[in-house]
A and B are shown apart, each in its own frame.
Chain A
Amino acid sequence: MAKRIVLDLDLCCGCRSCEAACKAAFNGEARIRHGDLVGEAYLPLACKHCKEPLCLSACPVDAITKDEVTGIVTRSAMVCIGCKSCALACPFGVIDAPLIRHISQKCSLCSDRKEGPRCVAACSSGALKFLSDDEIEKHQIGMRMVSKDSFYRRRS
Chain B
Amino acid sequence: MKKVDPTFTTVKKTVCPFCSFGCEFGVVFDDFGVRGVEYIADGSSQGRLCPRGSAAALYLNHKLRSSMPTHNGKVLDWTKLSKDLKKALEKPANMAITFDRNLTIEDYHSILGFCNESGIDNIASSYFEPESLLRSFFRNSFTVDDIGKANTILVVGDPFNQVPMLSKSLIEWKLSSRENRLVVLDSITTHTSTFATDFLRCKVGTEPLLLMALAGEDPGSIDVSENTGVSSAVIADIAKSMKADNNGLILVCLCFAHTYDSRFLVEALDRLGSYSGCAVIPFVEFAGFEGNQQFGDILDKVKKKKIKYLVNFGELFPFYYPQVAKVLKGVSIYATSPIKYKYHTVLPVALNLEKQGTILTNRGQQALSGTISPASGARMIGEILGLLKSTKPDKTALTVPKSRIDVTARAKNILAKTKAPKKKKTLKLIGEKIAYDFLGLFGDGKIKINPLDAEALGLKPTDIAVLNSKHGKAEFLIKLTAEVDPGIAAIAAETPEAKGLFDYDLTDNIVNFIPTEVEIWRKG
Contact = CB atoms under 8 A, between A and B. Distances in A.
B351 to A, nearest CB: 16
Interface string B12-56: 000000000000000000000000110101000001111101110
A23 B443 CA distance: 11
A153 B195 contact: yes
A125 B57 contact: no
Interface in A16-63: 16-17, 19-21, 23-25, 28, 39, 41-42
B444 to A, nearest CB: 10
Given A11-B168, A15-B191, A125-B171, A20 B161 contact: no
Contact of B191 (A13, A151, A152): A13
B161 A14 contact: yes
A16 B39 contact: no
A24 B191 contact: no
Interface residues on B, range: 35 or more
Contacts of B196: 156
Interface stretch (A83-91, A114-122, A130-138): A114-122
B3 interface: no
Contacts of A153: 194-195
B7 to A, nearest CB: 12
Contact of A20 (B167, B175, B436): B436
Contacts of B50: 15, 17, 20, 122, 124
A53 B332 CA distance: 62
A14 B195 CA distance: 11
Interface in B194-221: 194-196, 199, 201
A25 B442 CA distance: 12
Interface string B214-232: 0000000000000000000
B194 A17 contact: no
Interface in B251-287: none
Contacts of B165: 124
Contacts of A39: 481-482
Given A25-B36, A155-B194, A156-B201, A122 B48 contact: yes
Contact of A24 (B58, B189, B435, B481): B58
A99 to B, nearest CB: 17
Contact of B435 (A15, A144, A155): A15
A17 B49 contact: yes
B178 interface: yes
A123 interface: yes
Nearest to A121: B39
A152 B164 CA distance: 19
A20 B442 contact: yes
Nearest to A124: B164
A151 B41 contact: no
A123 B48 contact: yes
Interface in B472-494: 481-482
B194 A118 contact: no
A126 interface: yes
Contacts of A151: 178
B54 A24 contact: yes
Given A20-B436, A115-B39, 5 more contacts: A17-B164, A17-B436, A122-B47, A122-B53, A151-B178
Interface of A: 10-11, 13-17, 19-21, 23-25, 28, 39, 41-42, 115, 118, 121-126, 144, 151-156
The 8 closest A-B CB pairs, nearest first, are A20-B51, A15-B164, A121-B39, A124-B164, A156-B199, A13-B160, A13-B167, A125-B167
16 contacts: A13-B171, A14-B160, A17-B49, A17-B51, A17-B436, A21-B39, A21-B49, A25-B36, A121-B48, A122-B48, A122-B50, A124-B164, A125-B160, A125-B168, A144-B175, A151-B178
